Amino acid sequence: MIEMRFHGRGGQGAVTSAELVAQAAIDTGKYATAFPSFGPERRGAPVVAFARVDERPVRIRSKVYNPDAVIVLDPSLVEIANPIEGLRDGGVLIINSSHDPATIRKQLSFSGRLAVVDATRIAKEVIGLPITNTTMVGALVKATNLLTIEALKEPFKRRFGKIASRNIEAMERAWEETKIDD
């Protein structure tokens, strides 16, 4: 089973990211769950979402304590949360940042596998808004090989309708621009 934890702020799409990953996994014949965890619902408040993907039915309904991948949609969250908490050995931290991997490693005192992409810049350029959810899904795909870009296109089309093409483009750009640092 692959377990993921998404850190974002209300309105950035962390919950949507988890749902899109789960939908794509289900569409490819896997089993998956996705669900949020947040306090008062307001734009900008910290939000955590979880997803699990497996070849067998997923029966665990608790939050993810030891994720294989942590996806950080908003880099400011590293100041108020500890996104690497519980990350499994061999897991990957996937972070939206304009900083290089060495700077992030130093900031977080992190020596594990790291994937970095400037998702905010890509989202602004492609979508026109700093909503990084679909962009970060592209980084997740590159860092984990859990799914393919192709597998995500149909869930994107179902979710976003007329604006799906821009979200797919943002995802593809993020996949291309994500830097993996082992």
User: What is the mean pLDDT for each group of 10 consecutive residues in the chain (182 residues)?
Assistant: 94 93 97 84 80 96 95 91 92 96 92 96 96 96 96 97 96 98 87
pLDDT at 44: 72
pLDDT at 61: 86
SS3 content of the chain, % helix, strand, coil (to 5): 40, 25, 35
Which sign does the torsion angle of CA 49, 173, 29, 16 carry?
Answer: positive
Residues 125, 120, 165, 38, Cα dihedral to 10°: -150
Domain residue spans in the chain?
A: 2-181
Sign of CA dihedral 74, 164, 27, 144: negative
> What is the reported pLDDT for 182?
83
As a whole number of angstroms, the distance between CA 100 and CA 85 comes to: 21
Cβ atoms 143, 178 nearer than 8 A? yes
CATH 3.40.50.1100 fits 2-181, yes or no: no
Nearest Cα residue to 62 out of 3, 17, 16: 3
How far is C-alpha 25 from the chain's CA centre? 14
Question: Which segments of the chain does DSSP mark as H helices, in order?
Answer: 14-27, 77-80, 101-108, 119-126, 133-144, 149-160, 164-177
94 Cβ neighbours under 8 A, 6+ residues apart = 69, 70, 71, 72, 115, 116, 117, 136, 139, 140, 143, 178
